[in-house]
Structure 1
Amino acid sequence: MMRSMYSGVSGLKTHQTKMDVIGNNIANVNTVGFKSSSVTFSEIMYQNLSGASGPNALTGTGGVNAKQIGLGVTTGSTSVNITGPGASQTTGRAFDIKLNDTNSATSFFIVSNGSGTQFTRAGSFYVDGAGNLCMTSTGYNVMGWQVDPTTGDIRKDTVSALRVMSEKNMTSAPEATVNGRCEGVLDKNSTDVTSEAGQAMNLSFYDALGYSYVAKFAIKETNRDTGEYTVELTDILDSTNKSILDQTKYDSVTGTYDPDYLGDIFGAVKSQTKTYTPRAGWTTVDAANNIFEYNATYYRYDAAAGNLVEVADNGGGNYVQVPGGTTKTLAEAFGVSPYATGITMTNGVVTANVSGANYTLKFNPDDGVFDYIGATGQDNVFLNLKDTLGGNFENIDIDFTGTKWFDNGGSSTIGMDKGDVDGKTGTGKKSGDMIGVFVDTNGKIYGSYDNGNTILLGQIAVAQFANAMGLEKVGDNCYTTTLNSGEFDGIGVDITAGGGTMSTGMLEMSNVDLSSEFTEMITTQRGFQANSRIITVSDTLLEELINLKR
């Protein structure tokens, strides 16, 4: 009777232990990353009343089994359902991360509490005041791999705290523009290409320090019938709209640069014959004798001096030079470049040989398709900034294959933009400020910047164990290794190595199954109740035994 009573006591204790586990499971039904536990019972050792005997051939009797009485029950084990995934909860937060495992491996985030390494499935993280990625519940640092400053790739050696918002990560370095493209339709009926200024095009670009500039170009018609034009560089302006070209090479009256100087920057220097008529404000008085009037003053072209001298009408249209009178240059009166040669004036019109820095832009007159730029078979030309201006500039390769020569209602859409034909390569960038951070499916952390850059900042590593169920729970949704779980090597693994992924904007919830827990709770309650009856009945038997002496 004493044995039965103590067996009942052991049954009460073990069922109470199971109830404790069930209670803990149910209490954590909404705990992020919680893994439910279960209890198995084991019988206690047996007391042998007599041992077993074997068959006796001499007496012809059989063997007798041993007589054993069990001494109760004990807790055999508690196991954690570590591999059972919890449901996904969508949060929308960039640093809420859920681990998606395959059947072959269970992954854990690696965190540090300052004195040791622990592991967790709870992926609710945030960036603290020092810029470190941490657990929101405990502040433990999330561990991972850093970026190799030499290669820019992840260096998968010892894990360390992921500082995703350090001072060096808050900005993105600028890049110089090295590619440009000219695209769009050039309409041969456009009046812009036949004007003095030509069809204007601007190319925005950056130097290596991220400063912005605009190179100004003009397209002018050469031969409409054969689809030939010239592309000229007219100026380069900084962000304050100030020219960065050598102003000693600039003539402010005609608004032109020395063609030899521009030729070093863009295009070959070419000579062409050009005619000039009087500029606005000037009136032709006597074309045959090259007499002009400006602000009520008469001027005559002096071929020997190469300019206009003040004259007065001495009667009957007989103009004589005024001693000590004013003079005007051909640049002021006609806009003739000071770099022009072979200047002549006939019947009030100036003819001169003018050099220009330009490239020939040629289209196929039959189908309007781009033919070449500069020379036959050539698709691109260079803006030689580094070679001529030096400093932080880089030469820019400009591709013209995207240009067309079509009817567009007399209006041209042709223009320039930075970057190669893919729109991405060699665009150049200003210095960028961080505007966001995101984590991809393999745990790599990237920073986004307002200059369009995306920079790798680090990678979240995970730990995997030979026996994940052997990990020890230490509270705060964390685990530590034990002798039966396997050791952590200090390096970790890439989650994709086992076919797993990370999902951002969601968390793994508890894997507690309430239906199972309530069922287990009912059977546990009945088991506890039955064991209590053992003690009650045993007590009744003892009472009857005591009553024998009456």
Structure 2
Amino acid sequence: MMRSLYSGVSGLRVHQTKMDVIGNNIANVNTVGFKASSVNFSDIYYQTLQSATGPNETTGAGGQNAMQIGLGSSVASIVASITQTGGSQRTDNPYDVMISGDSFFIVNSGGTNYFTKAGDFLPDENGTLTTSSGAVVMGWQPDPADPTTILKDTVSPLRVMSPENLFSEPEATTEANISGNIDPQDKNIVSSGSGEFVSISFYDSIGQEYTAKFKVLQTTTSTSVYNVTLSDITDKNGKSIFVTYDETNKKYIANAAIGTVKFGGQTLPDIADSNVDPDTGEITWPASTGTNTMSFNASGKFIGIDDSATAPTASADDTKSLGLSIGVTGNNPFKDVNVDFSTITQYGASGTTSIEGDNGTTDGKKGGRKAGTMTGIGIDESGKIYGKYDNGDSKLLGQIAVASFSNPSGLEAVGNNMFAETLNSGSFDGIGHDVTSDGGGMTTGVLEMSNVDLSAQFTDMITTQRGFQANSRVITTSDTLLEELINLKR
């Protein structure tokens, strides 16, 4: 009779444990990346009243089964459904990431690596990507030998918004184009006119922007041959680089730092103080030296441009463009710019010439750029993190690495949506792998929510309540029997 009391007590205990697990599951129904747990019971030690016997042919007795009385139940296991994916919640936050597949994010807290499905990340004050609980997100860094690729080595903190990543390096312009159509009847471009002016913008190696201004004027010898000359180079404020302001004497003077400037076969003459208006900075240019000549065929198509007074007569690769070089005293931030004229045409139309310049080649390369300031980051399907900058640049900042385990259910929950490896989960090698290597992927602006199924939890709650209630009845009934036994003697 005492056995039934203790069996009832053990039943109360295991059902209370199951209720505790159900309560925790329901409490975390809206926790990002939470994995629900379930409880399994097992019976425990049995008291054998009679062992089993086999048939006896001598006596004719048949075999008997063992007679055993169980001593209650115990908790066999509490298992988290780690491999079951929770629902997807759209957040549109570029730092929120969801993994599809069985892999885990690798995070570090207190010097120890942990694993999580919760991808609600944010950069901290130092620009390091962290979880909402402050654990550092781990991954791989760009290869120092080739910053466009990832070095898959031991995982380290992803400092995606560190000071060196907040800016993008400038790039000097090395290619530029002048395109459009020249109308030979345009009154500005004919030999007696003032010329057609066109400009290109370009950058030096520290990201400063400049504008080179060119003049195109028909020669007196042919309506299909034109002289192309460089008229000035100005900074972003529209001031000529050949002029500087003398703060001491409060006047404009010639910029002695500018050396030899060449455009094709033309060398711009040196500017002296006498050529500069001290009040406005306007330049009176000395006689130019050298000539550049551009020519077209009878159909109005480009033949070539040459750094001499002789008009090109046959199209060739070396007659499509002219080089612009700027000499500077000391460290020269300028690179030579190759200006391509090959797309210009000479078709008669409305008497108006329409030509324009741009920096960069037709495929968008070598056009140069200013120094860029980070405007945001993006994470692709493989977990690669790219910085986006206001100069149009995009830079690889790192890659989120992931970890997989042979028995993910063997991981130990340690709180804050994190799991630790155990002897039964398999071990982490310290490097991890690319999420796409096992068919998975990452989605930004989305979070994996809890995988708790409320309908299942409420059903388990009902059965747990009934089990607890039934075990309590075992105890009260056994107590009543004991009471009757005691009352035998009055």
Distance 2:64 2:146 in 1: 79
- Paired position in structure 2 for 1:538: 478
Q: Distance in 2 between matches of 1:412 and 1:238?
A: 26
- Determine the structure 2 residue equivalent to 1:412: 353
* Aligned ranges 1:71-90 → 2 under 5 Å: 71-90=71-90
**Structure 1 counterpart SS, 2:477:** helix
TM-score (norm 1): 0.75
Deviation of 1:498 after TM superposition, in Å, equals 1.8
Verify: 1:421 aligned to 2:419, yes or no: no
Displacement, 1:20? 0.6
Of residues 123, 140, 158 in structure 2, which corresponds to 1:145? 140
Give the deviation of 1:132 after TM superposition. Answer: 1.6
Check if 1:202 corresponds to 2:143: no
Residue aligning to 2:46: 46
Q: What is residue 258 of structure 1 aligned with on the other side?
A: none
Q: Tell me the SS of whatever aligns to 1:441.
A: coil
Contact 2:106 2:139 (8 Å CA) reproduced: yes
CA gap of 1:203–1:29, structure 2 versus 1, over 3 A, is same
The answer to whether the Cα contact below 8 Å between 1:56 and 1:62 also exists between their aligned partners in 2 is yes
Higher-Rg member (1/2): 1
Q: Which amino acid aligns with 2:333?
A: N
User: Per-residue deviation at 1:234?
Assistant: 2.7
Give how far 1:336 is off.
12
Greater shift, 410-419 or 62-71, is seen at: 62-71
Q: 1:201 deviation in Å?
A: 0.9
| Cα pair 1:382 1:395 within 8 Å, conserved | no
Could you say which residue in structure 2 is the equivalent of 1:359? 293
- Could you say which residue in structure 1 is the equivalent of 2:448? 508
For 2:169 and 2:153, the matched residues in 1 are separated by 26
Q: CA deviation at 1:14?
A: 0.9
After superposition, residues 89-488 of structure 1 pair within 5 angstroms as 89-101=89-101, 106-136=102-132, 138-152=133-147, 153-194=149-190, 195-222=192-219, 227-244=224-241, 264-267=262-265, 356-362=290-296, 364-366=297-299, 368-374=300-306, 375=312, 376-379=314-317, 380-385=320-325, 391-422=332-363, 424-488=364-428
- What is the identity, as a one-letter code, of the residue corresponding to 1:143? M
Instruction: Name the stretch that deviates more: 53-62 or 529-538.
Output: 53-62
Amino acid in the other structure paired with 1:147: P
Normalization by structure 2: what TM-score?
0.84
Which amino acid in the other structure matches residue 405 of structure 2?
F
TM-superposed deviation, 1:521: 0.6
Amino acid at match of 1:167: P
Deviations for 1:234-284, whole angstroms, at most 9, x for unmatched residues?
A: 33333354444699xxxxxxxxxxxxx87x531479xxxxxxxxxxxxxxx
Aligned pair count reads: 448
Give identity over the alignment, percent.
51
Q: Secondary structure at the match of 2:292?
A: strand
- For 2:135, the aligned partner's letter is Y
Query: Secondary structure of the residue that 1:365 maps to in structure 2?
Result: coil
8 Å contact kept, 1:444–1:458: yes
Q: Is the 8 A contact 2:229 2:263 kept in 1?
A: no
Shift of 1:9: 1.4
- 1:234 and 1:533 mapped to 2: Cα distance? 104
Output the aligned Cα RMSD: 2.7
CA deviation after TM superposition for structure 1 residue 139, in Å: 1.5
The 8 Å contact of residues 184 and 223 in structure 2, kept in 1 or not, is answered as no
In structure 1, distance between residues paired with 2:154 and 2:188:
65
AA of the residue aligned to 2:343: G
Aligned-pair CA distance for 1:445: 1.9
Contact kept, 8 Å, 2:374 with 2:387, in 1: the verdict is yes
Judge which range, 470-479 or 385-394, deviates more: 385-394
2-side partners of 1:395 and 1:337: how far apart? 24
SS class of match (2:93): coil
CA distance in 1, matches of 2:32, 2:75: 28
Q: Secondary structure at the match of 2:464?
A: helix
For each residue in 1:192-216, what CA deviation from the matched residue of structure 2 results, as whole angstroms up to 9, or x when unmatched?
2215432111011111122222222
| Partner amino acid, structure 2, of 1:201 | V
> 1:15 and 1:165 mapped to 2: Cα distance?
50
SS at match of 1:521: helix
What's the secondary structure of 1:146's corresponding residue?
Answer: strand
Q: CA deviation at 1:140?
A: 1.7
- The amino acid of 1:266's aligned partner reads G
Identify the range of structure 1 (39-48 vs 510-519) with the bigger mean alpha-carbon deviation. 39-48
Q: CA deviation at 1:171?
A: 1.9
Query: Partners in 2 of 1:112 and 1:398 — Cα distance?
Result: 53
Letter in 1 for 2:264: F
Unpaired runs of at least 5, structure 2: 245-259, 268-283, 307-311
Q: Judge which range, 181-190 or 37-46, deviates more.
A: 181-190
CA contact (8 A) 1:267 1:359 kept: no
